[in-house]
Amino acid sequence: MGLLIEGRWADQWYDTKSTGGRFVRQESHFRDHVTADGSSGFKAEPGRYHLYVCYACPWAHRTLIVRALKGLEDVISVDAVDPFMGDQGWTFADIRTGVRSPGATGDRVNGRAALHEVYTLAKPDYTGRVTVPVLWDKKTGTIVNNESAEIIRMLNSAFDEWGDRSVDLSPAALLPEIDAINAEVYDRVNNGVYKAGFATEQAAYEEAVTRLFEMLDRLEAHLSAHRWLVGDRLTEADIRLFTTLLRFDPVYHGHFKCNLRPLHEYPALWGFTREIAQRPHVAATIEMTHIKRHYYESHRTINPTGIVPKGPLLDLSAPHGRERLAEAG
């Protein structure tokens, strides 16, 4: 994981010395918005916008799920980077071999070899981390946004002229509750696993992993009585939690030392994860091989050998039984 400094690539890991061993995630830099009427400067149009993603990344996975649930596959195109992240950051083929892994697409819009080259197309003197997802505007040749939370809101509403209007993952009446739970889940769970996994001091790790499992316990209690996090329907809050839970036992439990308890020992959380994973539109976005390969092969500071474990053996297709909570709200 490197970064660009005034448009020049530097292979630098996160600096945790200055933060007492704590991992601190940088803010996203590109924060423009696509709107239905174009008042933002970026008008929603079919075929104009393109997503750069990695199937391994939980943040990028959110955008793929919302794109699929909204029926926007023919409206917004997608390219996927290779799951292995080497000294050039995200690349469109395995940099060790020059060969694209199954599922990686290459850059079919800009023809670049590495994602950092897409960033410098948009801003030649860019300084910052090079992350996925990226929402690219083919018309103006620039990055619109690289903040997943904002991209999924755009996908949910800006493209309704061509997408499925019956699907609303961010209903206005529920937004205060959605925003509140999103903030806690982001801090303690979505980013919490990274705070534990990338910590370089024992105290920082223990602080992060304790807060993570306190939140998982709270979520387990809520989802034992409620089918969804907010209201009586699937919302973006559920999707944002789901992409972390999906990766928990295969990656975060072992690789990031989030091992107080595996997720499959939480009946409600594991059932919730299986229910969402079994939705046809969601199932098609899950690439478990990419998920495991990315983390175990790429993070050599954590897993120096790059060996990818065979397990755990988990059945996402097993009955979840959460229909009984349909009327619980």
Q: Residues comprising the binding site for glutathione?
A: 90, 129-132, 147-148
Let me know the angle formed at the C-alpha of 289 by 70 and 258, rounded to the nearest 5 degrees. Answer: 90
Q: Which residues are annotated as a binding site?
A: 90, 129-132, 147-148
Residue with tokens 């060790």: 96
Q: Read off the tokens for 33.
A: 């918005």
Given the residues 14, 49, 54, 57, select the one marked as catalytic: 57
Give the CB-side neighbour count of residue 133, counting CA atoms within 13 A.
29
Concerning whether 54 is annotated as a catalytic residue, the answer is no
d(CA 329, CA 323): 11
Phi, psi of 313 (to 5 degrees): -90, 105
Please answer whether residues 84 and 94 qualify as being in contact, where contact means their C-beta atoms are separated by less than 8 angstroms.
yes
Given the residues 55, 194, 205, 266, select the one marked as catalytic: 194
Concerning whether 194 is annotated as a catalytic residue, the answer is yes
Looking at residue 84, the DSSP 8-state letter turns out to be: -
Alpha helices in 198-235 (DSSP H): 202-225
CB-based burial, 99-114: b 16+ in 10 Å, e otherwise: ebbeebbebeebebeb
Amino acid at 112: R
Sort 313 into a burial class: Cβ within 10 Å, 0-12 / 13-18 / 19+: exposed
Q: Which active-site residues does the annotation give? A: 57, 194
